[in-house]
């Protein structure tokens, strides 16, 4: 929710490298496009060496002098400020990472070894400096980590991240907060931790290696990851069953056009829009407070020279992908049905267990009992028995919503309901996913198509700048 108590739709784009890799007019083009597509949050990093080891901005200014975290280059950070200013003007919130995990652990996913730039000795001072620089902004949420576990490869980096959190807090508030106390003060800052999806254990949550004693953590980020068989609805349910309940969302699910397997063999090796949609609707109807979308060519702002087996498009091509357009449909869906008023109701699916042997046939349900509505996501052409008792005491109206094209088809034939049990099949023509909408009156079945930014007709093609 916003400060005034009004609902806030969290639909984020993974834009990690935008502050370091896009020049000013490309930033404007990117943000305008994402605004029109309904996105509300941009996930960005201040210091990210993954595609830019020297951490230079588009004008060639290095973030650090001599690789020293305490010798910060104003030319680099003033451009970060400019990007954040534009995000605020466009109405975006920013989930901001002070430093990518590689800078703490000293290794990348390709086997390379690098200096450990962020250490237990300098993390507090960097966090304090950055927090003080950002303390006037009101559109920033914070995220530590960066695709690395806090305990990995036999080393415990938790003291580094704690020092960074405490420094950040001092810079933002002027108060000395301790990582395991002052919880009420920490909650005002909204900080999470971005873990990786650990292949050996399957762990992928903010709290995989932290405990609830870490007072600085106020919400949970999952990385359900890029494998084909991840059940993010189960991961979300596990987090919601904690003794202390934290808000949770899937902050890095399957990216569109990201490889499912390695090595890549053909186009079947990539995530298409179907798996992107599944992860989104599964997450939202299982209790996530929002969702994050990603594209393999956008998170790294791929240029022509970056095109390879993974990045098959440039970033400015990829932001017009089918998945991006379907996120606009998802935003319309979230707005139309006020998903913040719904709760998971998986117990109402009476035949669900019969389909769990096939992940692509998983259904996910949520209800708004007060509003007399139910939403059931069918991943395929399955049949279901749905217990509607307690939500509907009389008339029930139904419609099918297609998350691929946004169409809504009202079910004109009487629904097959006996003693409160609805029998229904998703008989979509192509056998793909649809959402069953149930409501007490037909007026509550409609999807409202929002306009989130006007198209000013300006040039759509931008050149990719390479300094």
CA distance 89 to 82: 11
Same domain, 365 and 239: no
Q: Environment class of residue 130 by beta-carbon count within 10 Å: exposed (0-12), middle (13-18) or buried (19+)? A: buried
- Is 183 within a domain? yes
Is residue 41, in this structure, part of any structural domain at all?
yes
For residue 459, what pLDDT is reported?
53
Is 185 found in the same domain as 215? yes
pTM (two decimals): 0.95
Q: Are residues 100 and 215 in the same domain?
A: yes
| Domain termination residue (choose one: 297, 317, 341) | 341
Block residue for tokens 């998986």: 346
Q: Identify whether residues 167 and 88 lie together within a single domain.
A: yes
Same-domain check for residues 277 and 350: no
**Same domain for 157 and 41:** yes
Check residue 403 and give its pLDDT: 97
Q: Is residue 4 part of a domain?
A: no
Structure confidence at residue 354 (pLDDT): 54
Assigned domain for 458 exists:
no
The pLDDT of residue 352 is: 64
- Residues 409, 379, single domain; the answer is yes
Asked if 257 and 295 count as a contact pair (C-beta separation under 8 A), the reply is yes
**Domain span including residue 406:** 343-445
Domain assignment present for residue 467? The answer is no
* Residue 227 is assigned to a structural domain of this protein: yes
pLDDT for 466 equals: 46
Please give the pLDDT value at position 393.
84
Where among 292, 322, 341 does a domain terminate? 341
Q: 259 and 322 share a domain?
A: yes
The whole-number pLDDT of residue 405 equals: 96
Residues 236, 104 share a domain: yes
pLDDT at 458: 56
What is the domain-level CATH number for residue 358? 2.60.40
Domain-embedded: residue 453: no
267 & 337 share domain: yes
Domain count, the chain: 2
User: From CA 381, how far away is CA 243, in angstroms rounded?
Assistant: 37
Give the pLDDT of the chain (467 residues) as one tens digit per residue: 888 999 899 999 999 999 999 999 999 999 999 999 999 999 999 999 998 889 999 999 999 999 999 999 999 999 999 999 999 999 999 999 999 999 999 999 989 999 999 999 999 999 999 999 999 999 999 999 999 999 999 999 999 999 999 999 999 999 999 999 999 999 999 999 999 999 899 999 999 999 999 999 999 999 999 988 899 999 999 999 999 999 999 999 999 999 887 777 777 789 999 999 999 999 999 999 999 999 999 999 999 988 887 888 999 999 999 999 999 999 999 999 999 999 999 999 998 655 556 678 899 999 999 999 999 999 999 999 999 999 998 889 999 999 999 999 999 999 999 999 999 999 987 778 999 999 999 999 999 999 998 776 655 545 554 44
CATH of the domain at 17: 3.20.20.80
Residues 193 and 208 occupy one common structural domain? yes
Look at residues 341, 369, 384 and tell me which one is the last residue of a structural domain: 341
Whether residues 438 and 359 share a domain: the answer is yes
Residue 451 in any domain: the answer is no
């Amino acid at each position: 929710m916003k400060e005034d108590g009004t609902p806030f739709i969290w639909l984020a784009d993974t834009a990690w490298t935008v502050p370091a890799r896009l020049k000013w007019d490309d930033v404007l083009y990117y943000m305008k496009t994402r605004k029109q597509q309904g996105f509300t949050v941009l996930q960005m990093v201040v210091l990210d060496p993954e595609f830019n080891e020297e951490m230079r901005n588009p004008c060639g200014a290095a973030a650090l002098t001599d690789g020293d975290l305490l010798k910060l280059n104003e030319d680099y950070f003033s451009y970060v400020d400019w990007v954040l200013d534009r995000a605020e003007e466009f109405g975006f919130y920013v989930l901001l990472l002070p430093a990518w995990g590689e800078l703490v652990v000293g290794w990348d996913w390709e086997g390379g070894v690098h200096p450990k730039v962020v250490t237990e000795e300098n993390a507090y001072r960097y966090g304090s400096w950055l927090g003080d620089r950002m303390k006037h902004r009101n559109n920033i949420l914070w995220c530590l980590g960066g695709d690395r576990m806090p305990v990995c490869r036999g080393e415990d980096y938790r003291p580094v991240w704690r020092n960074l959190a405490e420094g950040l807090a001092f810079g933002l508030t002027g108060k000395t907060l301790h990582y395991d106390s002052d919880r009420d003060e920490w909650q005002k800052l909204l900080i999470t931790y971005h873990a990786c999806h650990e292949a050996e254990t399957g762990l992928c949550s903010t709290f995989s290696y932290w405990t609830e004693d870490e007072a600085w953590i106020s919400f949970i980020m999952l990385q359900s990851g890029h494998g084909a068989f991840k059940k993010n609805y189960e991961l979300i349910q596990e987090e919601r069953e904690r003794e202390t309940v934290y808000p949770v969302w899937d902050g890095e699910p399957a990216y569109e056009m990201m490889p499912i397997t390695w090595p890549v063999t053909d186009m079947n090796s990539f995530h298409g829009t179907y798996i992107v949609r599944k992860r989104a609707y599964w997450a939202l109807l299982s209790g996530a407070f929002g969702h994050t979308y990603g594209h393999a060519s956008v998170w790294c702002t791929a240029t022509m020279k970056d095109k390879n087996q993974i990045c098959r498009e440039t970033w400015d091509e990829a932001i017009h992908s089918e998945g991006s357009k379907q996120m606009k449909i998802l935003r319309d869906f979230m707005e139309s049905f006020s998903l913040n008023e719904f709760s998971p109701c998986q117990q109402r699916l009476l035949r669900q267990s019969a389909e769990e042997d096939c992940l692509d046939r998983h259904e996910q349900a949520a209800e708004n009992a007060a509003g007399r509505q139910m939403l059931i996501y069918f991943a395929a052409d399955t049949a279901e028995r749905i217990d509607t008792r307690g939500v509907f005491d009389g008339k029930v109206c139904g419609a099918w919503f297609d998350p691929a094209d946004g169409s809504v088809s009202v079910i004109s034939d009487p629904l097959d309901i006996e003693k409160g049990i609805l029998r229904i099949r998703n008989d979509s023509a192509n056998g793909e996913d649809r959402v069953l909408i149930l409501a007490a009156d037909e007026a509550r079945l409609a999807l409202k198509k929002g306009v989130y930014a006007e198209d000013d007709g300006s040039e759509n093609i931008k050149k990719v700048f390479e300094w």
